[in-house]
Structure 1
Amino acid sequence: MVFARDTEANLLAAAELVNTALRRDGHDALTTPAELDAFYVRWGYSVRHDGDDAELAEVRAARTRLQRLWGVDRDEAAGLVNAILREADAVPFLTRHDALDWHLHATAPGAPLATVVLVETAMGVADVVRSDEYARMKRCEGDDCDAVLVDLSRNRSKRFCDVNNCGNRANVAAYRARRADAQTG
């Protein structure tokens, strides 16, 4: 594990959220309250969840804001993180609930889901910045792909996103190139 369990989960959830708008097929995978419900359940959120169109719009706006974290350098990311935390009046505290051991939260009980997503992502990115591991916040190297990823591999070698099948496409292209070389050689 590179970071604390909750930090990794928050970063991966943020990458998945951002990638709902960065699919190669152009389909936005976060357009209905049901899709937001699935995201909420998949990532084990235990905070307020209204499940309505207003909440969906707020989370989509948060998604746009979080996407910027993958397009800036470490210093600018620190400023974006500070702005998110300041605007939310975030006050970190340790908590234990459900089956989870001690971990950090920084929003008041009852805070809107979009605020929780922003703040939890900001807390995760704060760990990445202060650990001087910002190079782990990457863009997919796949052709025609703008998706984002968080490289939690030990050797920092993850290159492709999980949303657009880019790793498989790159492997197939490399295989076909090797076969073509073998047939001409």
Structure 2
Amino acid sequence: MPFGHDMAHSLTTVVELINTCPAVDGKEGLADLDALREFVTRRQVSGVESLTDEDLAEVHALRTAFYRIFTASDQATAVVRLNELLSRTRMTPRLTEHDGHPLHVHYFAPGAKVAEHLAADCGIALAHLMVAGEFERLRSCAAPDCGRVFVDESRNRSRVYCDSRTCGNRMHVAAYRARRRA
């Protein structure tokens, strides 16, 4: 499924946010304000002036909510969880151009805190994905020692590993070795 720039950016952002969660791999990827600041800069989250400890706590709670959406057992559960998240978000859709990006829609309210900004933009991207009947593209890595999430953008929805070069390669080598021993 080809995603537009905005949707692809928001989906990548939500995946990266979720994958900082200790529930994913036991490590805290957003341990302090410096880590949050680096995430905001790397993901080009616009309109964020300053960050506080309250922002960090809100982003931690938000990523847990997103993780629960990605790992929902079915689309109906994911929809309920996403609607809960979106209902707590002030949204003011508006067209904007910035940082060399073409005209696109921002969903967060002007002056929104970073967690609300992420909830609105990433939540809307997930909502569009579900409305398009693409819930099954929200995946957790099939490697037994990996809990990372990803969006399967393959044409035939066949991707099972978060990264084919790490988890995929490791699992294929393990399967090959097991076959050789047999």
What's the TM-score once normalised by structure 2's chain length?
Answer: 0.88
Q: 1:10 to 1:166 in 2, by over 3 A?
A: same
Larger relative contact order (C-alpha < 8 A, sep ≥ 6)? 1
Alignment of 1:37-116 (within 5 A): 37-72=37-72, 73-116=74-117
Is residue 42 of structure 2 the alignment partner of residue 31 of structure 1? no
Tell whether the 8 Å contact from 1:18 to 1:64 is kept in structure 2 after alignment. Answer: yes
Per the TM alignment, residue 4 of structure 1 is displaced from its structure 2 partner at its CA by 1.6
Tell whether the 8 Å contact from 1:49 to 1:113 is kept in structure 2 after alignment. Answer: no
Report the counterpart of residue 121 of structure 2 in structure 1.
120
Per the TM alignment, residue 49 of structure 1 is displaced from its structure 2 partner at its CA by 4.1
Single out whichever of 117-126 and 81-90 deviates more from structure 2: 81-90
How far apart, in 2, do the equivalents of 1:5 and 1:98 lie?
13
Report the counterpart of residue 171 of structure 1 in structure 2.
172
How far apart, in 2, do the equivalents of 1:103 and 1:175 lie?
46
Tell whether the 8 Å contact from 2:93 to 2:109 is kept in structure 1 after alignment. Answer: no
Equivalent residue pairs, number: 179
What's the TM-score once normalised by structure 1's chain length?
Answer: 0.87
1:96 partner SS = strand
Report the counterpart of residue 20 of structure 2 in structure 1.
20
The AA in structure 1 aligned to 2:177 is R
Give the unaligned 5+ runs of structure 2.
Answer: none
Report the counterpart of residue 10 of structure 1 in structure 2.
10
* Residue deviations 1:55-92 (CA, integer Å, cap 9, x gap): 21111111111111112222232333333333223132
Alignment of 1:142-157 (within 5 A): 142-157=143-158
Q: Percent identity?
A: 37
Per the TM alignment, residue 36 of structure 1 is displaced from its structure 2 partner at its CA by 1.1
Alignment RMSD, CA only?
Answer: 2.0
2:44 partner SS = coil
Per the TM alignment, residue 146 of structure 1 is displaced from its structure 2 partner at its CA by 2.3
How far apart, in 1, do the equivalents of 2:138 and 2:24 lie?
18
Per the TM alignment, residue 178 of structure 1 is displaced from its structure 2 partner at its CA by 3.7
Q: Displaced runs of 4+ in structure 1, greater than 4 A?
A: none
How far apart, in 2, do the equivalents of 1:90 and 1:52 lie?
22
Per the TM alignment, residue 23 of structure 1 is displaced from its structure 2 partner at its CA by 4.4
The AA in structure 2 aligned to 1:8 is A
Tell whether the 8 Å contact from 2:92 to 2:110 is kept in structure 1 after alignment. Answer: no
Give the unaligned 5+ runs of structure 1.
Answer: none
Per the TM alignment, residue 45 of structure 1 is displaced from its structure 2 partner at its CA by 1.1
Tell whether the 8 Å contact from 2:14 to 2:122 is kept in structure 1 after alignment. Answer: yes
